[in-house]
Amino acid sequence: CSGTLWAGAQVRFGITSAGAVSSDGAGAATVSITTLEDTPLLVRLSAEGACVMQPAAEGSLRPRCYDSVNSLLLNESPAFTAKFNSSLAAQLAIVAAEREHDNACPACDYLFKPWGRGEQCDCCGADNNLNADDPTALELWRKQWIARGCQWFDESARPDDWEAPSE
């Protein structure tokens, strides 16, 4: 197995190079990698995790061990941590955008944290179980709500910047 293949299987980004992998005969492998800061690290990967084998800071000879290469890089490479955090934030934003639709009231489209007090929409008052028996019930509720002038249902929860939908 080449060092590049081994490293690629461990992390998507975070190292600039990996040397040849050598087996120590005890079920572990050792490889030299270079972090994004151009810091060379000798890493031993085994069932126990990933360990940096160079002497630790402050003169300690004890290896610094982590549960995975990703954890090792999060602790040893500030550039990887920054890249990882920005990638994680971008992925979370995608998930949040996908789930935003799940948090829209099916009657008035108000975006809210999932059904709150009393299982009713704070905006229009629609009951979460309104369409359980009749699929047209939500559509009728919406038409009636609009006909009443889109009045906010729960005044105590009304956001200052809320505007009635235009329709």
Asked if 86 and 108 sit in the same domain, the reply is: no
Note the pLDDT of residue 4. Answer: 45
Is 125 inside any structural domain? yes
Is 131 inside any structural domain? yes
Note the pLDDT of residue 37. Answer: 92
What is the CA angle 122-154-96, rounded to 5?
A: 25
3-class SS of residue 77: coil
- Of 63, 92, 121, the position where a domain reaches its end is 92
Question: Residue 128: is its pLDDT beyond 80?
Answer: no
Residue-number span of the structural domain to which 143 is assigned: 104-157
Q: Supply the DSSP symbol for 157.
A: G
Q: Domain of 82: which CATH number?
A: 3.30.2280
Is 97 inside any structural domain? no
Higher pLDDT, 142 or 38: 38
Q: How would residue 8 be classed by pLDDT, with cut points 50, 70 and 90?
A: very low
Q: Is-contact 68 80, C-beta < 8 A?
A: no
Q: Which residues have C-beta within 8 Å of that of residue 55, sequence separation ≥ 6?
A: 61
Q: Is-contact 115 127, C-beta < 8 A?
A: no
Asked if 86 and 151 sit in the same domain, the reply is: no
Conformational region of residue 152, where left means phi above 0, alpha means psi within -120 to 50, and beta covers everything else: beta
| One-letter amino acid for residue 40 of the chain | P
Split into its structural domains, the chain has a count of: 2
Is 122 inside any structural domain? yes
Mean pLDDT of 26-51: 88
Residue 110 to residue 101: CA distance in whole angstroms: 10
Mean pLDDT of 154-163: 72
How crowded is residue 126: how many other Cβ atoms within 10 Å of its Cβ? 23
Asked if 7 and 85 sit in the same domain, the reply is: yes
Asked if 86 and 130 sit in the same domain, the reply is: no
Is 162 inside any structural domain? no
pLDDT tens by residue, 45-63: 888 888 898 754 555 556 7
pLDDT tens by residue, 92-115: 787 777 666 566 777 777 776 655
Asked if 87 and 127 sit in the same domain, the reply is: no
Task: Indicate whether this model's pTM tops 0.85.
Answer: no
